[in-house]
Structures are given as structure tokens and as C-alpha cells.
Amino acid sequence: MKSKLSLLLLSILIAVMALVACGGGEEAEEAATESDQPYIAIVSKGFQHQFWQAVKAGAEQAAVDYDVTITFEGPETESQVDKQVEMVQAALDKNPAALCLAALDTQALIPQLERAQEAGIPVVGFDSGVDSDIPVSTAATDNIAAAATAADKMAELIGGSGQVAVIVHDQTSRTGIDRRDGFVNQIEAQYPDIEIVDIQYGGGDQLKSTDLAKAIIQAHPDLKGFFGANEGSIIGVLNAVSEMGKEGDIVVIGYDSGQQQMDAIRSGVEAGAITQDPIGIGYKCVEAAVKALNGEDLPKEIDTGFHWYDANNIDDDAISPLLYQ
């Protein structure tokens, strides 16, 4: 009996030690702030898309290369502006050496940025900027130029005339605004025979974007083209096109990558997409934060580049490393 009791106590002790060793997210963040390395807090727009996991991977590589400690977090969906505000406030409470931020709203986080500025915490934007001069730099794609390229491809593929529609992730973030305007303004300026019949906002949510896209297709039976401005938006468009049996009838152009979109491009359901460099975006934001901490001058905008890809070049050496799955 004594032997069995000893084994039971030993098992309990091992289990308790394992729980202590594992810890949780909060303990990990506390450890980060107590490290001798400079601590950089990173607050993203979300975690729900593979895009943000690729950004995180780039940030983690930069943390290793520059010998800093980072945390990377974001709200569950890209519609949770209030949740992101809370995350930034909590990050600043930890007194980081620097803050990297991909803002869901160009205005909502201004008070938090002012707080960071007053505390001497440099702010670096990534992916999506804010309407403020407080960030010392922003590492992002030139989304206006990228979306204009998508518009040019759309015009080419539908023969320069017809009805097209757009699903955008939001109308509050800089990426949402710039991708919408880049596409719409290029069509209106260069292609007078193309009519944009609808622009809707799906919050980056695949299911909501699917419902919106289906409603647009039903309302416009002569629709010739559809542009989705981020991963969640374009997957919604692809779902709608598939569910309504419109494969081959509607030219679909997307943004970013992910397995479903890449499969659709290889199969011909999707004509092509704009890819950013998400790993580069994550890397560059941490790199810029380190340079800011070292007192180095930084450009206000760090252009991380973009490319058009389709079935012809999706596996090229210059493109495939930029595509996350």
C-alpha cells in the first residue's frame, strides 16, 4: 500500500511540475518583459488567416537575428476594433521598448499612440497604417499600386468591358481603404466601359463574404468579374462562385494566398492574385523597431513589394517563397 501511495504522490508531483513548466500566454508575456533583451510588443489585425501566421514567422526570425524578445497577438476577427484597442493598452502597460502595430482602424488607436509617444516608446506600423505621424515608420505593401495592377488584369481578362464587383475586408483600415480605392480608381480612370456594380465589406470573414458575394451574383446575372481584397474576402467569392455554378463564367481575382486560393488558381477557377511578402512585412517591422531603438533614421514608409501570380508563374522561384499555404 505504501508503495502504491508513493507512486500516486510522485505522479501528482510530476503533473504539477508539468503544469508549472507549461504556463500560459500571460506568463509567457511576463517572461518576455523580464528578459534582458529589448522587448517589442507586436499587435496584429488578427490571427484567423494564414497571412498573419506568415507575418508572425517573419517577426520571429527578425527577433532571433536582432537578439530581441517579442510577443505577437491579435483579435480573433478583423472586425474587433475595440478588442485590438484593449490589446494595445495592455501591451503598453507592460512598458515595451517598442510597439509594432497593424491597425484595424486608422483613427481608433490614436489615443494609445499618443500614450506611447509620451512614454518614449517608438511605434512602427506594419501592413496597415494610421492617420497619424506618430509611427516612426510603416512596413507595408503599396496597396494602391497593387490593387491598380489587379484592376488592369481584370480589364484585360474581361475584354475591357462589362460589370464587375468588389468584396473588401473593411472600410476602416488603411489596407481596406487603399485596396478598394486602388482598384476602383484605376477602373474608373482607365476603363470607361467597365462598370463596378457593387462594393461590399465582409470583415475578412469567409462566411459573411460568401453570403455577400452570392447576393451580388444573384442581383447581377451578367457579372463578368469579381475582385476580393484579402484572403477572407476572396475565399468568400470563390465559395459563392462554386456554390452557384459560375466557374468559368466570372473572372475571379484575389489578394494574398492560402491553400484554397492557390488550388483555385491552379484549377483555373481563379484567374490570379496579388501576393504580398508577409514574411518580409513581419521581419521589416521588427527590424525597423530595433533601428528606432538604436536611434537610426527610418523612412516613413518601407515598401515590402508585391507581385501578380497566376497558373503560369505560381511555381516560379521568384513567387513560390512568397505564398503561404
Please give the pLDDT value at position 78. Answer: 87
Cell of 136: 516612426
245 in Cβ contact with 215 (< 8 Å): no
214 in Cβ contact with 242 (< 8 Å): no
- SS3 of residue 225 by DSSP: strand
Q: What is the pTM of this model?
A: 0.81
- Percent share of the chain, pLDDT over 70: 89
Q: What is the pLDDT of residues 214-264, one digit of tens each?
A: 999 999 999 999 999 999 999 999 999 999 999 999 999 999 999 999 999
Closest by CA to 127, choosing from 167, 72, 76, is: 72
Q: What is the pLDDT of residues 8-57, one digit of tens each?
A: 333 333 333 333 333 334 444 454 445 689 999 999 998 877 899 999 99
Q: What phi, psi does 40 have (nearest 5°)? A: -115, 120
Q: What phi, psi does 170 have (nearest 5°)? A: -165, 170
Q: Are strands 307-309 and 272-275 parallel, antiparallel or unpaired?
A: antiparallel
CATH numbers and ranges of domains, the chain: 37-141+278-305 (3.40.50.2300), 143-275 (3.40.50.2300)
Look at residue 89 and tell me whether its pLDDT is greater than 80: yes
Residue type, 182: G
How far CA 54 is from CA of 58, 146, 233, 276, 301, in Å, comes to 6, 19, 18, 11, 21
Residue type, 136: V
